Amino acid sequence: MIRSARTALLLAVLAAVLASCSGSDEAEETGPGPDVVQAKSVLNTSEHPEYGSIIVDGEGMTVYLFTSDGLDTTFCIEGCLSTWAPLAAPGGVGGGLREDLLGRFERETGGQVTYNGHQLYNFAGDGIPGEAFGQGFGRTWFVVSPEGEQIIAGVDPMTTTK
């Protein structure tokens, strides 16, 4: 029963994100706010049972990249930010990660951590370390490998979700 209620909640969150992540080449957020995750920006690696070695934040939460983002552009704006919170800069790296791949993207709300050129986010649907419920969402949100690439494991190419 708990699992089906959690699944229903997750599906409702995912539906809201699809509606809100339509994209723009200008970040329209105004002023600093809770959208940017603070104090979790040290990146580490963790072994996930399904996806292998992935990047996590300083609290062990899975981080994601959004394939619609560009090097100088973000497409996660407005309502998208309530589900996909940018990982706040400055960042740092732990074992297994390369300092030279760490970077920063400037948003109106502040700096966002990048790794290998990808802006990094946390997913609101992940409640505890080890969860990766955002993996493959809309075929545009993916967990990140220690090399800074998207991991496509567990994603059905014929659907918009896993």
Q: Is the pLDDT of residue 129 over 90?
A: yes
* Average pLDDT in the chain: 79
Question: For residue range 3-23, what is the model confidence (pLDDT) as tens digits?
Answer: 443 443 343 444 444 344 444
Q: Please state the length of the chain.
A: 162
pLDDT of res. 153: 86
Helices (H), the chain: 2-20, 80-83
pLDDT of res. 1: 46
**Neighbouring residues of 123: CB distance < 8 A, sequence distance ≥ 6:** 62, 64, 83, 84, 133, 134, 137, 141
Residue 104, judged by CB atoms within 10 A of its CB (0-12, 13-18, 19+), counts as middle
Neighbours of 105 (CB within 10 A): 22
Enter the pTM of the model: 0.75
157 upstream amide cis, omega within 30 of 0: no
pLDDT of res. 104: 92
- Which residue's entry shows tokens 């493959």? 136
pLDDT of res. 90: 81
Contacts of the segment 103-106: beta carbons below 8 A, 24+ positions apart: 105/74
Question: Distance between CA 162 and CA 149 in Å, rounded?
Answer: 19
Question: For residue range 28-79, what is the model confidence (pLDDT) as tens digits?
Answer: 333 334 444 444 678 999 999 999 999 999 999 999 999 999 988 999 999 9
Residue 54 Ramachandran class (φ > 0 left, ψ -120 to 50 alpha, else beta): beta
CB of 122 closer than 8 Å to CB of 116: no
Q: Is the pLDDT of residue 157 over 70?
A: no
| Strand-pair category, 92-93 with 42-48 | parallel
In single-letter form, the type of residue at position 16 comes to A
Mean pLDDT of 104-124: 94
Instruction: Please count the helices (runs of H) and the strands (runs of E) in the chain.
Output: 2, 9
For residue 94, give both structure tokens: 């732990």
